[in-house]
Copies of this chain bind each other. A is one copy, B any other.
């Protein structure tokens, strides 16, 4: 069906199109009585306002672009839910894209979002994103950018909403030490991604504080998939039989490790205590339940979106490299309770 235009409304009422346009934009220059006639006729003819046209006039799309590695990962779907909640309240649409952990795809998505004149971009970068040229192009072109969770270090002119990953890594590791673990393995993703670098730093500083020697052979780098955790736990059992604690920087790999250890009859937490990171729904359900670090995904999403909305209103706050840092929350469950 054809869409109703302003001109058709004007013709039906035998008045000027510009008057119709003013009335639909709620201008004071049209009498209340005339306005009502026009709105009634617009409704009768099934007119819907063409936001595309009015957005073009303002050279804005009333849209926020969001890029995450994977929509279906619980942490990211929670942040998206928080972003959408705030954007909806403020009258913005949210375009969601997933990089699938590929930097090339991330680049293409950014170009496309800019071509579509999104008003701002919220991004959690892929594991492959090590340089920031495609990201600087974005705000140099006038599109504000806010990182949440996974970010690239050393970029001014962007906002950031993070959890204190150093503290999170520290808390989880110190907790394992206080539960009596003497030899603690770390599972991490490549450490050119800031959050993994920071969680590792937390791990090391907890060891240092408690005079546990650091051994780089106990740090295992992978993509942190469930099968990585499963495989690495096998390696630990075969090659490092005296390991009595695992700090995994996500829950997925921790759960993989638990599945392997249970399959070979190791007791959790008695033989090996395990702590994860991110508080996925599965972590509360697995037995024993998994100690983990909560990242408040929905809250991160809300705050990141608010930072952008704040920028739309006040213009210049992001250039100060504004960072909102949320405290992590250690959730102690059965997988580490040795005392």
**A80, CB-defined interface residue at 8 Å:** yes
Kindly report how many copies of this chain are found in the complex they form together: 2
**A61, CB-defined interface residue at 8 Å:** yes
**Minimum C-beta distance from A301 to chain B (A):** 10
Give Cα A286–Cα B282 distance, bound, in whole angstroms.
Answer: 8
A47 (CB) vs chain B CBs: closest residue: B141
**A296, CB-defined interface residue at 8 Å:** no
For A97, the chain B residues whose CB sits under 8 A away are 84, 88, 93-94
| A140 and B77 contact, CB distance less than 8 A | no
**Minimum C-beta distance from A89 to chain B (A):** 11
A62 (CB) vs chain B CBs: closest residue: B116
**A114, CB-defined interface residue at 8 Å:** yes
**Minimum C-beta distance from A118 to chain B (A):** 9
Q: How many chain A residues touch the partner (CB < 8 A)?
A: 57
Name the residue among A51, A76, A94, A96 with the largest chain B CB count within 10 angstroms: A96
Q: Which of B93, B96, B111 interacts with A116 by CB under 8 Å? A: B93
For A116, the chain B residues whose CB sits under 8 A away are 51-52, 55, 62, 93
Give Cα A48–Cα B137 distance, bound, in whole angstroms.
Answer: 11
With contact pairs A78-B72, A282-B281 given, residues A48 and B141 touching in the complex (Cβ less than 8 Å)? yes
| B56 and A141 contact, CB distance less than 8 A | no
For A339, the chain B residues whose CB sits under 8 A away are none
With contact pairs A3-B142, A141-B1, A282-B285 given, residues A98 and B115 touching in the complex (Cβ less than 8 Å)? no
For A117, the chain B residues whose CB sits under 8 A away are 50-52
A88 (CB) vs chain B CBs: closest residue: B97
With contact pairs A94-B95, A96-B94, A286-B285 given, residues A74 and B74 touching in the complex (Cβ less than 8 Å)? yes
| A71 and B77 contact, CB distance less than 8 A | yes
**A298, CB-defined interface residue at 8 Å:** yes
| B98 and A95 contact, CB distance less than 8 A | no
**Interface mask (A44-74 → B, CB under 8 Å = 1, otherwise 0):** 0010111111011001011100000011111
Give Cα A116–Cα B297 distance, bound, in whole angstroms.
Answer: 29
| B81 and A71 contact, CB distance less than 8 A | yes
**A287, CB-defined interface residue at 8 Å:** yes
**Minimum C-beta distance from A187 to chain B (A):** 18
**A112, CB-defined interface residue at 8 Å:** yes
For A14, the chain B residues whose CB sits under 8 A away are none
**Minimum C-beta distance from A114 to chain B (A):** 5
Known contacts A71-B84, A88-B105; can you find 10 more A-B pairs with CB under 8 A? A1-B142, A50-B59, A50-B117, A52-B52, A70-B81, A77-B80, A81-B98, A93-B97, A95-B95, A282-B282
A interface residues (Cβ-Cβ under 8 A, vs B): 1-3, 46, 48-53, 55-56, 59, 61-63, 70-74, 76-78, 80-81, 84-85, 88, 93-98, 105, 109, 111-117, 137, 140-142, 255, 280-282, 285-287, 297-298
